Structure 1
Amino acid sequence: MEGLAGQLGAYGPLVVGALKALVFLVVGWIVANAISGFVRRQVTRSEHIDNTLGTFFASLVKWLILIVVFIAVLQIFGFEATSLIAVLGAATLAIGFALQGTLADLAAGVMLIVFRPYKLDQYVDIDGTAGTVKDINLFVTELVTPDNVQIIVPNGKAWGSIIRNYSAHATRRLDLEFGIDYGDDADKAIKIITDISGADARVHDDPAPWVRVVNLGESSVDLGVRLWCDAGDYWDLKFDMTKQIKEAFDKKGISIPYPHAVEIQKSA
């Protein structure tokens, strides 16, 4: 490096410093990613630590190492540590105003990890945006939709919004509704639904299946169905029950009417 500096003359020290800084940045970035990955793997292997914490800690370690690397790079260019701390202290207020959103995301990320309204691999709805949680780091939450679209939600927005966590509990209630013709036997239709529900092993006995007439519509008598199941069985059960009940209605002579109006004429 010193020989290179002599060859470059007056600009030699600056060029050498820049090369050193570049090496520090590259090595620091590699080390930060390596240690971050190591922390993530170790936490994932532990049965006593939630994977969500592992992801967050890995992100935290990475950024702390990068901050140290940044300070080291500044020292290469002649900034003393004490002077650097003084400068950073004086610039804190300005940086705070410039990065209000980023700092808010950082603070919200800490709150999300402390209170954990959602965890990795849970299906959530954050202010109307739904998906499976794939990553939670210092600044953002990554969601993936059922059709494999990546969505990045700033932690500040996530923490300040209504969060619906569909995976928080082990069980869910499936609500269905079927309309039958006014001329059909409602008790017969209720029995058909009850029998099908009781025969499906995914439907819980407690709470028991619930089937009632819930509304007299303009063109149908509406039957409400409430079934409890494991959260993981929710969608498959919904689709299967809809198909099975429709086919059973067809076989038993229960009709599902199209929306229609009845015209009544009265003689003068």
Structure 2
Amino acid sequence: MEQLIEQAGVYWPLMVSGAKALVVLILGWIATGWISSVVRNRINRTPRIDPTLGNFAASVVRWALLAVVLVAVLNIFGIEATSLVAMLGAATLAIGLALQGTLSDLAAGFMLILFRPYRIGQYVDIGGTAGTVKDLNLFVTELATPDNVQIIVPNGKAWGSIITNFSHHGTRRVDMMFGIDYGDNAETAKAIILEQAKGDERVLQDPAPWVRVTNLGDSSVDLTARVWCKAEDYWELKFALTQSVKEAFDARGISIPYPHSVEIKKDG
């Protein structure tokens, strides 16, 4: 019994310290999450500040506070901050080598925030991966594809890739090609396409809609139409014009050729 009491006396302070550390860790984790949310909401309430900056600032605050919580937990076990600094200094090289990719993502995150090649809500293509930007934090960029699939791109990969931002400019040009039969009148077909384009309120009149004969194909005369619209109207306008031009061609007797085979029989 005396031996058990002695062992309990030895381990009791460690158990108390462990319990305190666990409480501090849990409360610290909850508090850092709450504080980072407050920072994000406060920044995002300002219309002049891009939401990307709010999310990034919240991420920085969260990681900084978690570092403070870690120091507090170590102090409970009697490890002083000065000792921690010495330990970190000795382990810096090993950590740097082990976390090269993570540190690269962190540095790239700062560069992405600084130069802002894309922002939250924009549709981008990052090295062949396309989607709407949902989040940008210290380490990764989160995209959502048009069919709502989540894609996580490490910031190091994003910064080192070609970035195509389809939403950066307020307007976009819609290029469309229509093929007509060689027996049809090209000027009539051009007039029909312009008529449909000008009849859609989403088509901008400056620059003016443009239609030209651009190719003489094997079985069709190809007409290219170029119209400008707001970036958010791009796809709906393209779909609508495709249908309306097809219906107008049918109504006006303009045929759209399609590949077909001709069988020739020879006697003998």
Alignment match, 2:170: 170
Q: Structure 1 CA distance, aligned partners of 2:265 and 2:219?
A: 18
- Residues 181, 255 of structure 1: 8 Å contact kept: yes
1:69 aligns with 2:69: yes
| Residues 181-220 of structure 1: CA deviation (Å, up to 9, x unaligned) | 1111111100100111111111111111111111111111
Question: What is the deviation of 1:8?
Answer: 3.2
Identity of aligned residues (%): 67
Alpha-carbon deviations, 1:53-109, whole Å to 9, x = none? 001000110000001111111121221111110110111111000000000000000
Whether 1:82 aligns to 2:90 is no
Structure 1 counterpart of 2:31? 31
Q: Which position in structure 2 is the counterpart of 1:214?
A: 214
- Residue 139 of structure 1 and its aligned partner are, at CA, apart by 0.4
* Cα distance in 2 for residues equivalent to 1:8 and 1:154: 49
Which segment is superposed worse, 71-80 or 174-183? 71-80
Letter in 2 for 1:214: T
Q: How has the CA–CA distance of structure 1 residues 262 and 181 changed in structure 2, closer, same or farther, with 3 Å as cutoff?
A: farther
In the TM superposition, 1:13-162 aligns within 5 A as 13-162=13-162
Q: 3-state DSSP class of the match of 1:36? A: helix
What secondary structure sits across from 1:121 in the alignment?
Answer: coil
Letter of the 2:166 partner, please give it: Y
How many residue pairs end up in the alignment?
263
SS at match of 1:49: coil
Which sits farther off after the overlay, 18-27 or 237-246? 18-27
Report deviation, 1:47.
2.1
User: What is the identity, as a one-letter code, of the residue corresponding to 2:58?
Assistant: A
Q: What SS does the corresponding residue of 1:91 show, helix, strand or coil?
A: helix
The DSSP-based 3-state class of the residue aligned with 2:177 is strand
1:191-230 paired onto structure 2 within 5 Å: 191-230=191-230
Using the TM superposition, give the Cα deviation of residue 260 of structure 1 relative to its aligned residue in structure 2, in angstroms.
3.0
Match of 2:146, SS state, is coil
TM-score of the superposition, structure 2-length normalised?
0.94
Taking the aligned partners of 2:6 and 2:60, their CA distance within structure 1 comes to: 41
1:180 corresponds to: 180
CA distance in structure 2 between the partners assigned to 1:25 and 1:8 by the alignment: 25
User: 1:261 deviation in Å?
Assistant: 5.2
| Superposition misfits of 4+ residues, deviation over 2 angstroms | 5-9, 260-266
Q: Given residue 236 of structure 2, which amino acid in structure 1 is its aligned partner?
A: D
* Conserved? CA contact 1:218–1:261, under 8 Å: no
Most deviating of 167-176 and 254-263: 254-263
Aligned to 1:235: 235
Partner residue, 2:10 = 10
In structure 1, stretches of 5+ residues that fail to align are: none
Q: Give SS of 2:117's match.
A: coil
User: Structure 2: how far apart are the matches of 1:170 and 1:6?
Assistant: 76
The AA in structure 1 aligned to 2:18 is A
- 1:244-259 matches, within 5 Å, as 244-259=244-259
Please state whether the residue corresponding to 1:212 is helix, strand or coil: strand
